Amino acid sequence: MIRFEDLVEKVRASNPDADSELLRRAYVFSAFEHKGQVRHSGEPYLVHPLEVANLLAEMKLDVVAIAAGLLHDIVEDTQTSIERIRELFGADIAHVVEGVTKLGAIQFSSSEERQAENFRKMLLAMVDDIRVILVKLADRLHNMRTLHHLPEERRLVIAQETRDIYAPIANRLGMSKVKNELEELAFKYLEPKAYESLRQRVEGRRRATEGLIEELTKTISAKLTEAQVPVMHIDGRIKRLFSIHQKLKKQKIDLDQVYDFMALRIVTQSVKDCYAALGIIHQTWSPVPGRIKDFIAMPRPNGYQSLHTSVISERGFPFEVQIRTAEMHRIAEEGIAAHWKYKEGRVGADRDEQYFLWLRQLLEFQQEVRDPQEFLQNLKIELYPEEVYIFTPKGEVKALPRDATPVDFAYSIHTDVGHQCVGARVNGKMVPLRTRLRNGDIVEIVTAPGHQPSRDWLNFVVTSRTRNKIKHYIQGEEKQRSLELGRKLFEKEARRFNLNIRSLTDGPAFAATLTEYGYGKADELFAAIGYGKVAARTILTKLVPQEQLKEAPESGIASVVRRVLGPAEEKIKVRGFDDLMVFRARCCNPIRGEKIVGYITRGKGVSVHSASCSNVVNLLYDPERRIEVEWDKGADTSPYTVRLSLHVEDRKGILADVTSKIAGINTNIRNVEARSDDDQTGRIDMTVEISDVKHLQKVIKSLRSVDGVVDVERASR
Ligand code: MN
């Protein structure tokens, strides 16, 4: 068991000016408060805060953090209040203890909703004072080290929480030493069988591997000396069990195929020496293609820097080499804790700012998110940063999460670039916007002024920033659009009965109706009508006596006016491929130029059908809800996908003839399927991109001209 004197010595070694008197008072107070309490191990409780303080001292944190480590369980486990701690030890220490106590009260394994709320609190605590989370991590690390004393049920809960939350947070803060130990311990308790069998297999190879490490270290050392590349130290290690386990599971490979089962680490004095050493390594052994990673030029978002490469030894044994400077090494191991001690006056807090940036952004974007499921999903993406590096055509690098798309990339450049993005060139080629980007892709975004984000993008974008930007935009648009729509619908309905809109909305009856429906303003009511939540007719019945709501025959004057000026009533315009409140019905999938009709649909706005849609023809829709619609000329010109079904003679080469005919008239094919029926005939189903009804007619006509094509039909979905 560690003694308090050892702790003070450790603190003094890295910080001679540390206030050891403060630490002593915290220690004595903690000993007094926890007196008589024991841990599951049977040891006096005091061992725990002392060990936690020791871990914090090893991270070389300040006395506030270490004292808070000594005091961290007092408020939770004794009668003493946080006010008392504030009186005795000051506001800073009390603040950290309070934060840790609050985090301790959080149950992460509870229902999803509470979990999301708890995450939010935890993140807020972190942004507030990072020492809260550092003390909590030290607390969790010591609890994990002594987890075997706990009953199994508790062990599993704590280990799961460690794997899901604390290890990823340590990782995000760059604290790989802490993260690694937390992950290994969680693996041991969560999957004891897998852990034990892997441990034995790795153990079986340990002796041979260690011999090899020694041999390779000597070789490298000699080569580097010969080339006059100064090296601070070289060490070798066997990959951690948990990361081997993950690798085997993910890549479905055998232990022998793990390239970085064994890794050598070379620590140099300068960046220049890192690259020099890399050159020497590649001259000595053959590098494995595609495994060279330059995290010095492109640090990971958590600040990690290093050169990685995998090479094959003379005996055909692959191993990984990591090369970094001493400073990079320290940051790789300790992350934010490595920066912490500089904060008090000496060096600027810029690096810390970087660590916090992702957190601040996350919180900022999360403030609007009400759905806990969605919050958790966003958070998961942020906490498990498997990122890809993407280049702008000018060579600028952006780190994006794995599976990011050109749309995510566009939003990472600027919100407006995202909103107006219509296409992307990846490595010089145009690709669909839903394409998953890969490491090293050079991406150029094509924008069109005035273009709007599409709801469809939400199905494939990856970063929460992008999602939130798109949603925010769509919600604003939707509101605007449903307001416009609702007002038109109301006006149209009023006109049917020759009612004056001005006098309808000015009177007290209108105000009373707003109150009855719980709307503050007329606009809110109109928006609700536009959404289909309330029918315009229902509102009218509130405003005028029933007998006025009989369809009046058009008055003489009105019909003259109409004849002179054309129809007074404005049609609802359909903007095209991706309209927000006016959407194309799935049953007939109408395309630009086709004759269309609209129906108000509850809570969705207006659904637009082809006038020839069988559902419309068969009067499946309530004519009361029918409204006039027309295509908005000059709006969105993105292509529609249309499915065509071809009845063909079953002859060789017909598929090739059909596809080349389509390509010949500049039409994109999304998908083709061909099959033959029994009677010497076949069927080709294809999905093509069509801009409007004229284009469709042209495609059908030229398909019919192909030799062997019997018939072409537009397939309903
Ligand atoms: Mn504790």
Task: Extract the tokens encoding 341.
Answer: 């001690």
The domain ranges of the chain are 4-190, 199-336, 556-636, 640-714
| Number of neighbouring beta carbons within 10 Å of residue 553 | 9
Question: What is the Å distance from ligand 1's center to 49 Cα?
Answer: 7
- Please tell me the distance between residue 101's alpha carbon and the centre of ligand 1 in angstroms: 9
Task: State the residue for tokens 């840790």.
Answer: 100
Compute the distance from residue 100 Cα to the ligand 1 centre, in Å: 9
Q: Which CATH architecture has domain 199-336?
A: 2-Layer Sandwich (3.30)
Take residue 447 and report the two structure tokens written for it.
């924008």
For residue 223, the one-letter residue type is K
**How far does the centroid of ligand 1 lie from the alpha carbon of residue 142, in Å?**
8
Residue with tokens 């153990």, as numbered in its chain: 203
Q: Tell how far the Cα of 139 is from the centroid of ligand 1, in angstroms.
A: 5
For residue 71, the CA-to-ligand 1 centroid distance in Å is 9
Ligand 1: centre distance to CA 98 (Å)? 13
Give strand ranges (E) for 611-639: 626-627, 629-631
Q: What is the CA radius of gyration of the chain?
A: 34
> DSSP for 224-260?
HHHTT--EEEEEEEEPPHHHHHHHHHHHT--GGG-TT
pLDDT of residue 522: 87
Could you say which DSSP state residue 593 is in? T
CB contact at 8 A, 139 and 101: no
Give residue 380 CA to ligand 1 midpoint distance, Å: 26
Longest dimension (CA), the chain: 106
Q: How far is the CA of 85 from the centre of ligand 1 (A)?
A: 16
Distance 73 CA to ligand 1 centre (A): 5
Strand 286-287 to 397-401 pairing? unpaired
Q: In whole angstroms, how far apart are CA 44 and each of 34, 36, 104, 317? A: 8, 7, 20, 49
**Residues in the chain with pLDDT < 50?**
110, 342-349, 561-569
- 640-714 folds as Alpha-Beta Plaits (3.30.70)
pLDDT of residue 503: 79
CATH architecture assigned to 4-190: Orthogonal Bundle (1.10)
Q: Are 116 and 369 in contact (CB under 8 A)?
A: no
User: Residue 122 CB: number of other CB atoms within 10 A?
Assistant: 21
Ligand 1 centroid to residue 48 C-alpha, Å: 7
Distance 93 CA to ligand 1 centre (A): 16
Q: Where in the sequence numbering do the catalytic residues fall?
A: 76-77
Measured CA to CA, the distance from residue 629 to residue 622 in angstroms comes to 16
What is the distance in A from the centroid of ligand 1 to the CA of 656?
A: 71
Strand duo 286-287 + 307-312: pairing: antiparallel
Q: Do 4-190 and 640-714 have matching folds? A: no
Partner residues linked to 643 by β-bridges: 687
Report CA(409)–ligand 1 centroid distance (Å).
42
- pLDDT for the residue 566: 41
Distance 701 CA to ligand 1 centre (A): 77
CA of 118 to the centre of ligand 1 (A): 18
Report the distance separating Cα 265 and Cα 610, nearest Å: 67
**What is the C-alpha separation between 346 and 328, in angstroms, rounded?**
20
Distance CA 367, CA 471 (A): 13
The confidence score (pLDDT) of residue 65 equals 92
How many A from CA of 304 to the centre of ligand 1?
Answer: 29
Between the CA of 17 and the centroid of ligand 1 the distance, in Å, is: 27
Burial of 461 (0-12, 13-18, 19+ CB in 10 A): buried
Distance CA 161, CA 175 (A): 18
Rounded CA-CA distance 331/352 in Å is: 12
